[in-house]
Amino acid sequence: MNVKPQVFVTRRIPEEGIKILMEHCVTEVSDFDGVLPRETLLEKVKGKDGILCLLTDTIDREVMETAGPSLKVIANYAVGFDNIDVEEATRRGIMVTNTPGVLTETTADLTWALMMSIARRIVEGDKFVRAGKFRGWEPMLLLGTDVYGSTLGIIGFGRIGQAMARRASGFNMKVIYFDMQKAPSQIENELKASFRALSELLREADFVTIHVPLTSETYHLIGEQELKMMKKEAYLINSARGPIVDEKALARALEENWIRGAALDVFEREPKVEPKLLELDNVVLTPHLGSASYATRTKMAVMAADNLVRALRGEIPPNLVNRETISR
The pLDDT value recorded for residue 1 is 47
> pLDDT tier at 328 (50, 70, 90 boundaries)?
low
Equal fold, 6-100+294-327 vs 104-285: yes
Average pLDDT over residues 105-124: 98
Average pLDDT over residues 17-30: 97
Average pLDDT over residues 210-229: 97
Query: What are the sequence ranges of the domains in the chain?
Result: 6-100+294-327, 104-285
CA distances for 156 relative to 53, 174, 256, angstroms:
26, 16, 27
Residue 241 has pLDDT above 80, yes or no: yes
Average pLDDT over residues 16-31: 97
Q: Which residues are catalytic?
A: 241, 270, 288
Considering the segment(s) 104-285 as one domain, its CATH architecture is 3-Layer(aba) Sandwich (3.40)
> pLDDT tens for residues 251-293?
999 999 999 999 999 999 999 999 999 999 999 999 999 999 9
> pLDDT tier at 327 (50, 70, 90 boundaries)?
low
112, 118, 72, 86: which is closest to 259 by C-alpha? 118
| Cβ partners under 8 Å of residue 193, min gap 6 | 154, 157, 165, 175, 176, 177, 183, 187
79 or 196: whose pLDDT is higher? 196
Average pLDDT over residues 57-84: 96
List beta partners, residue 235.
207, 261
The pLDDT mean for the chain works out to: 96
> pLDDT tens for residues 145-189?
999 999 999 999 999 999 999 999 999 999 999 999 999 999 999
Percent pLDDT > 90 in the chain is 96
Q: Whole-model pTM above 0.85?
A: yes
Average pLDDT over residues 99-123: 97
| Distance, CA of 35 to CA of 205 (rounded, Å) | 37
The pLDDT value recorded for residue 172 is 98
Considering the segment(s) 6-100+294-327 as one domain, its CATH architecture is 3-Layer(aba) Sandwich (3.40)
Average pLDDT over residues 40-55: 97
